[in-house]
Amino acid sequence: MKYFTVSAHKGDYTVFFDTGFTFFNSIKQKKGIWIVDRAVSRLYEELFDDIDPNDIIFVDVSEELKTLEGATMLYRQLEKKKMKRHTPLISVGGGITQDITGFVAATWYRGVPWFYVPTTLLAQADSCIGSKTSLNFDSFKNLLGTFYSPQEVFISTKFLDSLDPKDVYSGFGEIIKLQLIKAQEHGDFQTVTDKLNMGKQADGLLQLIYDSLLVKKEYIEEDEFDFGKRKLLNYGHCFGHALESVSAFTIPHGLAVVIGVLFANIIALKRKKISQEFFETLITEVLLPHIHMDVLEMQESFYGADALFQKMKKDKKRSGDGMALVLPKKDFKLELVQDISMEELQYGCRELEKVLL
Ligand SMILES: NC(=O)c1ccc[n+]([C@@H]2O[C@H](COP(=O)([O-])OP(=O)(O)OC[C@H]3O[C@@H](n4cnc5c(N)ncnc54)[C@H](O)[C@@H]3O)[C@@H](O)[C@H]2O)c1
């Protein structure tokens, strides 16, 4: 089985890669309390049927689960189960199940061990490493959280067979962002389309997931706590998070990120940081084919700069009066800027609407 190890302040952890479910037996030996996405448990009943029902908590997944109320609901269930100090939590599901389990693991008894089995493409190719656990607060995305990595991560592409196309597209969104970040280091954009095509073949997907995580690994190991280099991983996120919130989370995270990457390039073009030719190649060859407007229920109100501004104001990366955005500059190297004005936001929203129409 393929694997690699990630260095983190809480201890190094290993990520295992497989195309089947043989690893599940070794997870069962960990004698933990399971927190499982109910939809996944129904689709893969056979994986859970020999686990004591007292050791499983099923969760109904939505962004509302990733809140203090969702965490309180889990604390109450753990209390009832008389969970011990060293009993691990075992999380099975997508990024939402990961975020809520990680947050509860970080805070219950001031921290218990946890293991993670990501079941969506987004979670497998991106969120499963990096130590971040996040909760939404009021209508603000990922405002609360901790850095608390799992002990081990087990990835199986077999889970992806049952994913809704919207969630496959969403996973590709984060993959595109990571592959673009890699490409900007070498200035070679052909590799991005080659890699994405490889991932569309059944036997290439595991390799694409592995390669995408390797890109993220380099950034999080150098800057786990997000003080410098890691901020560049937020390419597409500053605008993407705001758009997700404004859409009341009807736009899936990864697709909001690709739209956010497009928005960042619109602003970079306006600031003359990138050429018109580069802008057009990027959107026609990489971004637009992966936005899938047919599954997005975009409404005119989502392009409203005032509502987006209210959300972008709360961005954790914002340190000045303007809005924060990760922008490509000359040679497509990325940089975090803090001076996006309301006029630029309004301009960007108008241009975005034209491109996506
Ligand atoms: N902690 C981090 O570093 C980090 C990074 C990126 C994103 N995130 C968070 O991750 C969340 C998005 O994650 P996601 O896209 O995985 O969403 P998700 O967990 O909501 O899963 C998407 C949908 O897929 C279903 N599902 C899960 N596995 C399935 C399977 N194998 N087959 C069929 N259906 C399945 C879920 O029930 C849900 O309906 C966002 O809240 C985002 O903020 C966290």
96 pocket-lining for ligand 1 (C-beta < 6 Å): yes
241 pocket-lining for ligand 1 (C-beta < 6 Å): no
Residue closest via CA to ligand 1's atom 39 equals 61
Distance 96 CA to ligand 1 centre (A): 5
CB burial string 261-288: b at 16+ within 10 A, e below:
bbbbbbbbbeeebbeeebbeebbeebbe
pLDDT value at residue 337: 94
- pLDDT tens, residue order, the chain (357 aa): 899 999 999 999 999 999 999 999 999 999 999 999 999 999 999 999 999 999 999 999 999 999 999 999 999 999 999 888 899 999 999 999 999 999 999 999 999 999 999 999 999 999 999 999 999 998 788 899 999 999 999 999 999 999 999 999 999 999 999 999 998 877 778 889 999 999 988 789 999 999 999 999 999 999 999 999 999 999 999 999 999 989 988 999 999 999 999 999 999 999 999 999 999 999 999 999 999 988 888 888 888 889 998 888 877 777 777 899 999 987 778 999 999 999 999 999 999 999 998
8 A C-beta contact, residue 298 and residue 315:
no
Q: Directed axis angle between helix 253-270 and helix 342-356, to 10°?
A: 120
- Tell me if the pTM is above 0.85: yes
128 pocket-lining for ligand 1 (C-beta < 6 Å): no
CA 190, 192, 198, 201 dihedral sign is negative
* Residue 112, both tokens: 């218990």
Rounded CA separation 192/288 (Å): 14
pLDDT value at residue 202: 75
8 A C-beta contact, residue 140 and residue 307:
no
8 A C-beta contact, residue 131 and residue 149:
yes
Which DSSP symbol is given to 226? S
Alpha-carbon distances of 107 from 50, 193, 269, 321, rounded to whole Å? 29, 41, 44, 33
Rounded CA separation 182/286 (Å): 14
* Parallel/antiparallel/unpaired status of strands 132-137 and 140-147: antiparallel
99 pocket-lining for ligand 1 (C-beta < 6 Å): yes
**Distance of alpha carbon 199 from its chain centroid, rounded?**
18
Amino acid at 236: G
Alpha-carbon distances of 40 from 15, 43, 213, 282, rounded to whole Å? 20, 5, 23, 35
Rounded CA separation 114/97 (Å): 12
121 pocket-lining for ligand 1 (C-beta < 6 Å): no
The residue behind tokens 């993670």 is 116
Ligand 1 site-directed mutation target among 6, 37, 166, most atoms within 8 Å of CB: 37
Beta bridge partners of 116: 91, 153
Residue closest via CA to ligand 1's atom 11 equals 95
The secondary structure element, H or E, covering residue 154 is: strand 152-156
